[in-house]
Structure 1
């Protein structure tokens, strides 16, 4: 889940918002992390307690709703995976000078290789853990190198001089929106972790997943803040790459390539795995050939990028839909958790329900506003 949320968009969003808000972006990170934790604690707990995937729970709440949720997840996952594949290509380009399209194809082959193993789940877990560790270490190195004003960052995290609601919504959507919030929950089920007895493990996993994302976000925030505070100019065409180059010179650009590739490839794997997990329960054939469908998912994403390039219009609409997936999914699961026919004797704590409802309302209203803003752009 953590490595799925740390993709090319994550790097760009954090860089751009830090430029705009300066040290006050620390407050945005803090608020978004709190919203993330409550969204994920609810969703993962309900999935594991019921032993059912998100689409199965949705179908029990309202027949057909699970199909709608699955379509949104798969469409959003496919569209964003095109961006993830593109990011992997750009990462290899910065790292080794390889053409981005060739780099994307090489990266896709690497991702496919993971799912050719019989124990694909274990290989996937290990690969994402190693990649995540490399990303964190390199990001911390760059953050320290820029010598950021840590004192000001800490103060503005609690007493911001300016606040951006848009940045909060964007960070929440990018961390636990769309397929990402289900990435860990569905993986836990596949690993055999379910039932009320598993709640302590689920709580630990969900909080640590958000914490890892938070560490990466804070490290990148401090790196960018260090560059901005020195009055250095960040290239608008590729903000995160520019930050790394300004921070550590030419070596920084290669470090950016490693981080971008690791972030993108783990997002490719996470998007493909989670998207397919939303259709595998609809027919035994999908369950039987799950790994081959995942491979097909990656091939299609790569083929679209290689043949057409990054389809901006599709990504824009998918981004708007992504804003609606979290409130739809979380709202549905909160309804389900109070139905005895679904959860049996389990009692969901009120301290999770109330913040969960708050996240649904806030993300729902702003998601609808974003959708209405973006649809007209599709026809320009």
Structure 2
């Protein structure tokens, strides 16, 4: 349960998560609190439904999707995983740049090499669970320190959480896409299924683990938001190339910059691990031997690294695009899950999906479709 929870959380708390939160905090100020609150509520509704359907059925999302529409389960989320993983590699490179001053692209290649080493180890499964948990704890502790020393206007943030001065649908979609979009919401569920924790008898454990994963990501986003808001409120002009790193530097000096490097590198590495593991589970079945799956995962990391080097795009821009892109994919993947919950009880072992979860999930899906359409123009403008 802990491994699944932290795999999901650290996959979400990636470089895109840090970059998006920092950039949007500078753009929107305290009004960003509303987007965070709304995204957390939608995230919980989505993840509760996804994890319950998958883990009760005992089927991975690709296996479930292919029973409804062959090919759907493999294509959509796998493509989203590729986009996200290129961003993760870029972000880990930015982390090493802030921590050690090395070129961000070289740092990305180094981070990918570390992930490959983990997947090639003989006890990759155990290493995966322990490493993502340790990296998650390091990120939260460092973020808490910087959030305190930056002295943010907490009262103003609380007010805007319920009475926002500004609402931006592109921002909300990007946050949701960066937390439960694409492969992320399936990461922990697939980990539970692979560990044998599935079936109707484990519903309570499945529910608890899924909610705790979202709570961890929510706490992290709030801490980062407060840390950057405290700096932005002083009127300091933050760098457009690496906004979060500059905010940490102004909040805690050289130590803050190095701390951010550690956070971003940890976020990037854990997300490369999570994205690679989950993406490969989408194109393999549970009958594939773990050793073979690990070799396929290594190939996936190498492929994404090559694409990262070839694209040669600005890392920060790439990270925001990844979140928005996966936010648009999410309604399609989530609609599949809700269809199974509504119409395919046979895939759930005859277990009836709770009405309150159906209602919450349906409302979240409608909201996701609406803001996803609104956000599409934002993506077009970003790359225009």
Aligned-pair CA distance for 1:345: 2.3
CA distance in 1, matches of 2:310, 2:330: 31
Aligned to 1:366: 371
Aligned to 1:131: 135
Aligned to 1:58: 65
Aligned-residue CA RMSD in angstroms? 2.3
Q: Does 1:337 align with 2:344?
A: no
Gapped runs of 5+ residues in structure 2?
1-7
Aligned to 2:295: 292
Q: Does 1:208 align with 2:212?
A: yes
Matched pairs, number: 375
Residue 279 of structure 1 aligns to a residue in which SS? coil
- The 8 Å contact of residues 26 and 153 in structure 1, kept in 2 or not, is answered as yes
Counterpart among 154, 177, 181 of residue 177 in structure 1: 181
Counterpart among 149, 163, 168 of residue 167 in structure 2: 163
- The 8 Å contact of residues 82 and 310 in structure 1, kept in 2 or not, is answered as no
Aligned pairs for 1:106-121 (under 5 A) are 106-121=110-125
- The 8 Å contact of residues 46 and 333 in structure 1, kept in 2 or not, is answered as yes
CA distance in 2, matches of 1:200, 1:326: 25
- The 8 Å contact of residues 85 and 302 in structure 1, kept in 2 or not, is answered as yes
Residue 258 of structure 1 aligns to a residue in which SS? helix
Aligned to 1:310: 313
CA distance in 2, matches of 1:135, 1:330: 29
CA distance in 2, matches of 1:56, 1:319: 25
Aligned pairs for 1:8-23 (under 5 A) are 8-23=15-30
- The 8 Å contact of residues 19 and 319 in structure 2, kept in 1 or not, is answered as no
Q: Say which is worse superposed, 93-102 or 285-294, in terms of deviation.
A: 285-294
* Deviations 1:261-297, CA, capped at 9 Å, x for gaps: 0111111011101100001129x56866110010001
Q: Does 1:98 align with 2:105?
A: no
Gapped runs of 5+ residues in structure 1?
none
Go from structure 1 to structure 2 and tell me whether the alpha carbon gap of 1:366 and 1:103 turns closer, same or farther (over 3 Å shift).
same
CA distance in 2, matches of 1:155, 1:178: 31
Aligned-pair CA distance for 1:308: 4.2
- The 8 Å contact of residues 87 and 318 in structure 2, kept in 1 or not, is answered as no
Aligned-pair CA distance for 1:40: 0.1
- The 8 Å contact of residues 327 and 359 in structure 1, kept in 2 or not, is answered as no
Aligned-pair CA distance for 1:155: 2.6
Aligned pairs for 1:56-95 (under 5 A) are 56-62=63-69, 64=70, 67-95=71-99
CA distance in 2, matches of 1:24, 1:372: 21
Aligned-pair CA distance for 1:327: 1.4
CA distance in 1, matches of 2:67, 2:29: 46
Q: Say which is worse superposed, 342-351 or 43-52, in terms of deviation.
A: 342-351
Aligned to 1:5: 12
Counterpart among 27, 31, 38 of residue 34 in structure 2: 27
CA distance in 1, matches of 2:163, 2:378: 31
CA distance in 1, matches of 2:326, 2:26: 25
Aligned pairs for 1:202-281 (under 5 A) are 202-281=206-285
Q: Does 1:350 align with 2:355?
A: yes
CA distance in 2, matches of 1:142, 1:317: 26
- The 8 Å contact of residues 317 and 375 in structure 1, kept in 2 or not, is answered as no
Residue 289 of structure 1 aligns to a residue in which SS? helix
